C-alpha cells in the first residue's frame, strides 16, 4: 500500500477516474459540509437561476482529483500540498464527470510533483481546471 515514489514518476504520467453525478452525491455533500446553497438542494429556486436546475458543488468535483492523487498517481503515502481550482462550467445531476491528473513538473529539490488537474463532462466540456502540488511517498527504509 504505497504509491509511486519520486523516482517512479515521469512527466506525462496520467490517471483518470469517472463517476455519474447523482442527486445522492449532491445531497450527501451538502449534508457533510453544510453547504445548503439553494442552487444545490432547491430545484424550485435553481430552475429560476442561470443554471436552470440544481448543480453539484464545485468542491465535490475537486474531490475526484483528490481520489486520483491519493489512490492512483502518486497514490497512498502522498501528502497534498496545494490545489488551485478554476470552476469553468456547472455539473448537473446525471452528468458523467471524468477527472484527469497529469504530471507536468518534478521538483527534485522539494521532492514535490506538480500535476495538471482537470475535469470534463460527457460532452467533453471542461468543468474544472487547476493544478496540484503533491509530495509523493518516500521509499520505505531498508
Distance (Å, whole) CA 102 – CA 132: 10
Residue nearer to its own copies on the CB measure, 13 or 95: 95
* Cβ proximity of 24 and 94 under 8 Å: no
Q: Which residues would be at the binding site for its own copies (CB under 8 A)?
A: 1, 16-20, 22-25, 27-45, 49-50, 54, 57-60, 62-67, 70-71, 75-87, 94, 96, 122
Residue nearer to its own copies on the CB measure, 11 or 139: 139
Residue nearer to its own copies on the CB measure, 105 or 138: 138
Q: How far is the CB of 51 from its own copies (least distance, A)?
A: 9
How many C-alpha atoms does 70 have within 13 Å on its Cβ side?
A: 9
Q: How many CB atoms lie within 10 A of CB 90?
A: 20
Q: How far is the CB of 86 from its own copies (least distance, A)?
A: 5
How many C-alpha atoms does 72 have within 13 Å on its Cβ side?
A: 16
Residue nearer to its own copies on the CB measure, 11 or 63: 63
Q: How far is the CB of 128 from its own copies (least distance, A)?
A: 10
Q: How many residues does the chain have?
A: 142
Q: How far is the CB of 38 from its own copies (least distance, A)?
A: 5
Distance (Å, whole) CA 92 – CA 60: 12
Amino acid at each position: 500500500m504505497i504509491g509511486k515514489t519520486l523516482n517512479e514518476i515521469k512527466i506525462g504520467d496520467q490517471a483518470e477516474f469517472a463517476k455519474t453525478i447523482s442527486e445522492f452525491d449532491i445531497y450527501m455533500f451538502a449534508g457533510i459540509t453544510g453547504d445548503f446553497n439553494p442552487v444545490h438542494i432547491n430545484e424550485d429556486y435553481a430552475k429560476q437561476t442561470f443554471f436552470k436546475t440544481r448543480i453539484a458543488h464545485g468542491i465535490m468535483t475537486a474531490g475526484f482529483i483528490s481520489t486520483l492523487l491519493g489512490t492512483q498517481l502518486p497514490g497512498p503515502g502522498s501528502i497534498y500540498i496545494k490545489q488551485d481550482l478554476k470552476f469553468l462550467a456547472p455539473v448537473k445531476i446525471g452528468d458523467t464527470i471524468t477527472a484527469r491528473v497529469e504530471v507536468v513538473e518534478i521538483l527534485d529539490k522539494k521532492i514535490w510533483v506538480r500535476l495538471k488537474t482537470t475535469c470534463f463532462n460527457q460532452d467533453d466540456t471542461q468543468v474544472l481546471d487547476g493544478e496540484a502540488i503533491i509530495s509523493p511517498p518516500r521509499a520505505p527504509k531498508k
